[in-house]
Amino acid sequence: MTPFRCSVRDRTIVAHWRRSRKQPRIVASRLAVARRRGDYNVGVNDDFDSITESTPLLAELRARIAADGPMTFRAFMEAALYHPRFGYYTTSAGSMGRGGDYVTSPEVHPVFGALVAKQIFELWNVMSRPARFDIVEHGGGSGLLARDILTWVSRREPAFAGALRYRIVETSPSLREVQQRTLADAGLADRVEWSTTATVGVTGCVLSNELIDAFPVHRVVRAGGVLREVYVTLDEHGRFADELRAPSDPAIASYFDDLQLLPGEGCFAEVNLDAPRWIADVAASLDRGYVLTFDYGYEAPDLHAPWRRDGTLLCFSRQSASSDPYQRVGKQDMTASVDFTTLRRSGEAAGLRTLGMTDQSDFLVRMGIGDTIASVAQERPGEMEEYFARRRVVMDLIDPARLGRIKVLLQGKGVELAPLLGFEGDPA
Ligand SMILES: C[S@@+](CC[C@H](N)C(=O)[O-])C[C@H]1O[C@@H](n2cnc3c(N)ncnc32)[C@H](O)[C@@H]1O
């Protein structure tokens, strides 16, 4: 079973595995027992992988460290994920979905895209049905969310379909190709435009799903009451290893100052400085409309709670999760939970108003996911097998221990306040 990028169970087990790495036999047997029980998806990476492995990316990173000294973890993560030739997202065209490294909501079932489309249709109505409405999706993955939104709109709301212009902002050339194939297969290729950066003059909705948790992060640890940053160096065997240094950027200390908190003593934490920059760019790109963000994350006090000793960094590869970023460099995904307090406040500083925040579980239930599942039973009573299959799959979307715990944030600019289906009872 392919893991979701951040399930609670994965985290707990991975944290345990990380603490116990010095006792590989015990860990291996625990893993074997848990696997037999079918409890979770977590793999033990081969510790020798990174020493014996030689890829152009590893060679380049080792040469860089040898020449320039240790690099920040952020620079390492950026290279591992987004190196223009060898990064995970540059090369990993087939990494998402049931057969890939991890599963996101659009990969689970088209009902996710259909219910997001229904919410955006309501936003178009609140804006008094402008003649042109843009959906700008940042980080389109395999293109399924675009496909499912456009399919729902064309079938269900032809007037909205006439106003809709869909753009995907995608930095990975290989994923852009995958998106183009997905949309061409659905006969929707001519309904979508692409760009690599946010375009200005948007009237409509900027949308993203699991984008911000894939931004490269600084890693810090609080040691002796002082913040230290994790740099990546090479040990005597040529393996990547942590080295603690003074923070590379004053913005790291300012980030915690603004929140008026620090990680607990001895705790690791991630600082995503790209997230506030991204939301400021998005706010500037929007003339009038909304920003609808789905991502794994927490409010800052929860994200940096003293019991979260290892931070939230997780890596995904070959259907297993680990917390070791130095394995399979460039061949595994890396993710860190989003600080929604800072994201919200940065949006507000850039002119966005926070309109609602909820969990995906509540959002999808309010949007009518229950009725959608039940409609199979009512419309085609002979097809109970399909009903149960669909129900099982769709439950993953709302399971609070899985995709259901993803946060959904709605921000707006130049729009009227109005009660909205997906956020009713959860005003910001
Ligand atoms: C974890 S994947 C999520 C994909 C998709 N939204 C989904 O839910 O399946 C992250 C996506 O964001 C893209 N991406 C990363 N940084 C980006 C940026 N700064 N601007 C636009 N896309 C970006 C990646 O190439 C990839 O398509």
Do β-strands 338-339 and 297-298 pair in parallel, antiparallel, or remain unpaired? parallel
110: CB partners within 8 A, 6+ apart:
144, 147, 148, 151
How confident is the model at residue 367, as a pLDDT? Answer: 96
Mean pLDDT over residues 335-356, rounded? 98
For atom 15 of ligand 1, the residue with the nearest CA is: 139
For atom 22 of ligand 1, the residue with the nearest CA is: 139
Largest pairwise CA distance in the chain: 68
Range of weakest confidence among 204-208, 268-272, 423-427: 423-427
CA dist 184 and 41 (Å) reads 33
How confident is the model at residue 370, as a pLDDT? Answer: 87
How confident is the model at residue 94, as a pLDDT? Answer: 54
What's the mean pLDDT when you consider all of the chain?
Answer: 87
For atom 11 of ligand 1, the residue with the nearest CA is: 139
SS3 317: strand
Site to probe by mutation for ligand 1, drawn from 77, 89, 149, 166 as the one with most ligand atoms within 8 Å of Cβ, is: 89
pLDDT tops 80 at residue 192: yes
How confident is the model at residue 6, as a pLDDT? Answer: 47
Predicted TM-score (pTM) of this structure = 0.88
Percentage of residues in the chain having pLDDT higher than 90: 75
How confident is the model at residue 360, as a pLDDT? Answer: 98
pLDDT band at 22 (very low <50, low <70, confident <90, very high): very low
Site to probe by mutation for ligand 1, drawn from 95, 142, 171, 282 as the one with most ligand atoms within 8 Å of Cβ, is: 171
pLDDT band at 320 (very low <50, low <70, confident <90, very high): confident
How confident is the model at residue 5, as a pLDDT? Answer: 62
Residue type, 31: L
Q: HSE-up of 228 (CA within 13 Å, CB side)?
A: 16
**Distance from the alpha carbon of residue 175 to the mean position of ligand 1, in angstroms:** 9
Residue type, 54: S
pLDDT tops 80 at residue 188: yes
Residues with CB under 6 A from ligand 1: 89, 96, 104, 106-107, 138-141, 169-172, 175, 209-211, 214
pLDDT tops 60 at residue 144: yes
Report which secondary-structure segment, H or E, holds 268: strand 268-271
pLDDT band at 393 (very low <50, low <70, confident <90, very high): confident
How confident is the model at residue 275, as a pLDDT? Answer: 98
pLDDT band at 136 (very low <50, low <70, confident <90, very high): very high
**Distance from the alpha carbon of residue 270 to the mean position of ligand 1, in angstroms:** 19
pLDDT band at 428 (very low <50, low <70, confident <90, very high): low
Per-residue buried b or exposed e for 288-303, using 16+ beta carbons within 10 Å of the residue's own CB:
ebbbbbbbbbbebeeb
Mean pLDDT over residues 302-307, rounded? 96
For atom 2 of ligand 1, the residue with the nearest CA is: 141
Do β-strands 71-72 and 226-234 pair in parallel, antiparallel, or remain unpaired? antiparallel
| Domains of the chain (ranges, CATH numbers) | 8-86+218-271+297-336 (no CATH), 105-213+341-423 (3.40.50.12710)
Residue 108: CB atoms within 10 A of its CB come to 20
pLDDT band at 384 (very low <50, low <70, confident <90, very high): confident
**Distance from the alpha carbon of residue 156 to the mean position of ligand 1, in angstroms:** 28
**Distance from the alpha carbon of residue 139 to the mean position of ligand 1, in angstroms:** 3
Mean pLDDT over residues 311-325, rounded? 91
pLDDT tops 60 at residue 31: no
Residue type, 41: N
Mean pLDDT over residues 45-60, rounded? 67
250: CB partners within 8 A, 6+ apart:
none
What tens digit of pLDDT does each residue of 96-125 get? 766 778 789 999 999 999 999 999 999 999
